[in-house]
Structure 1
Amino acid sequence: MSNVISMEKVRKRNNKSGKFVLLIICLVFIAVIFAFQLINVNIITVIGNKIYSEEIIKNVVGIHEKTNLFVYKLASKDFVLEEYPYIENIDIKYHSFNNVDIVVTEKSIISYIPYMGKYLCLSKDGTVIDYTNDLQKNIPIVHGLSFDHFVIGDKLFNDETGIFKAILETSLKMKKFDFKIDYIDFNYNDPEQIVIKIDKISISIGNIININRKFELLKELITKLPEGAEGTIDLTDINKKNIIFTPYNSK
């Protein structure tokens, strides 16, 4: 009988041995992770949540103190957010096998719209995210609009009206110039006849054309007025030589 060993057989044995060793290493690695998870409690940090509690966010993503984060990370998972209209996005950031950040991005409210005794909460993308009487400070209430119905999670306006663009632009400029606007008024749903109110001053801005310049002029004029001033300002024509404040009691 020949004592010659085929090199092909040697290679096959080596391959089998290598695969076996690799399998053992993987099993040991997984066992260590599971053992580590069993004796350690997860460190879970929820970031960015203001509307919803930490427990609600943990339930939404399905991560708790004893969740096996190794297995969780391997499994692709979509979060069901339909019941949580204020949540825009949730991101999971892993620091170790038992340390994770849950980063929540909430939708911001740009305005409230009165409807049937309560207020619709309008987000920056034009969707209705809530229907409530619990109003946050420094968010303007929009008057002068009429509509038949609404659905939470759906857009309130179509792109043809120009209303939402006017609401968004006015709200953004309000924040840019640090104005505490009480309300935005659209006369008969008309985005060409916008009136805003700041404290006891009613300002006609017309449409949103040149709105940045209009707010620059408004800022300049309001800073010169005495505290508690009551009256009107007309910014519909910014080409006027003088933009003036007219007190209510003027004749």
Structure 2
Amino acid sequence: MKKEQQKKKRKLYIGIIIGLILLLFFMMPIFYINEIQVKNNHFYTAEDIIQTAGIQKKHFFDLSFNEAKKQLLELPYIKEVKLNYIFPGKLEIDVVEKSPFAYVEFSGNYICLNENGQVIEQSPKMYHELPIIQGLKFESFKIGEVLPIQNNEEWLCATEVIRYLEKHQYIKEVSKIDVYNLEEIHLYVDKLNVIMGDISDFDKKIEVLIKVHAEYNMGILDLSTFAKRGEAFLNPIT
């Protein structure tokens, strides 16, 4: 009986000693965060990311990864976050950002959307060189949710227009895209009102627009009959 008690005590002592050794081991300086690296950030500085996450250079086991992720995901442009501890002493914050796609206007403010129609942010001014989409019907919105567009066909048409503009690297030149009438889409480039007609042959219409815009930036350019007749009419203002 005494031998069994001695064995139990011995195991307890050994367990305590091992626990103390492990505790001392994990308290060693190699487990302190002395370097924090932020990857794939474009819209926020590394300092902004680190500060928002609430992460400081401290012991690894004092960090709350879940809380840090929660804080970062509240930033408008952050889509995903991964936190990786790299032994010894390095923490890596890898973010996936939402890419701004276009703007819509609402009550004197600008709503920034991604390519899926998700609302990224609302602001009194535009922070990106992206076109404003006109002609979409909606009554409300929530940050982080898809804009509740009532005329989805117009939204799909606008996204197709933007894809063509991106293809020709012409997205920054277009200030507005009006899809109120899908048979008479309008683009606004500088002070040039471009009547594009419908979405047919849009690729070729943009090529004509680029050539005309190289010489004229004011007036009305009518490309609505270009798909059927190959005609383009320009009424310039000089």
User: How high is the TM-score relative to the length of structure 1?
Assistant: 0.70
Amino acid at match of 2:158: I
Matched, 1:186 2:179: yes
Q: State the distance in 1 between where 2:27 and 2:86 align.
A: 17
Aligned equivalent of 1:165, options 156, 169, 176: 156
Deviations 1:96-153 (A, max 9, x none): 3311321222212221211111111111110112111231242112223343222222
Query: Any conservation in 2 of the 1:231–1:245 contact (CA below 8 Å)?
Result: no
Query: Which of the pair is proportionally richer in helix?
Result: 2
Q: State the distance in 2 between where 1:151 and 1:248 align.
A: 42
- Residue 193 of structure 2 is matched in structure 1 by 202
Aligned equivalent of 1:239, options 200, 221, 227: 227
- Residue 140 of structure 2 is matched in structure 1 by 149
- Residue 79 of structure 1 is matched in structure 2 by 69
- Residue 11 of structure 2 is matched in structure 1 by none
Amino acid at match of 1:247: N
The alpha carbon displacement at 1:77 in A equals 7.2
- Residue 97 of structure 1 is matched in structure 2 by 88
The alpha carbon displacement at 1:202 in A equals 1.7
- Residue 114 of structure 1 is matched in structure 2 by 105
Amino acid at match of 2:227: N
Structure 1: state its 5+ residue gaps.
1-19
Instruction: Give the 3 Å change call, closer, same or farther, for CA 207–97 of structure 1 in structure 2.
Output: farther
Query: Any conservation in 1 of the 2:78–2:96 contact (CA below 8 Å)?
Result: yes
Instruction: Give the 3 Å change call, closer, same or farther, for CA 191–130 of structure 1 in structure 2.
Output: farther
Matched, 1:124 2:115: yes
Q: State the distance in 1 between where 2:22 and 2:204 align.
A: 64
Q: What does residue range 37-56 of structure 1 map to in structure 2 within 5 Å?
A: 37=30, 40-56=32-48
Q: Percent of counterpart pairs with the same letter?
A: 26
Q: State the distance in 1 between where 2:116 and 2:186 align.
A: 22
Q: State the distance in 1 between where 2:187 and 2:27 align.
A: 61
Q: Which has the larger radius of gyration?
A: 1
Q: What does residue range 131-146 of structure 1 map to in structure 2 within 5 Å?
A: 131-146=122-137
- Residue 218 of structure 2 is matched in structure 1 by 230
Point out 4+ residue stretches in structure 1 off by more than 6 angstroms. 75-78
Q: RMSD in angstroms over aligned alpha carbons? A: 3.5
How many pairs are equivalent?
222
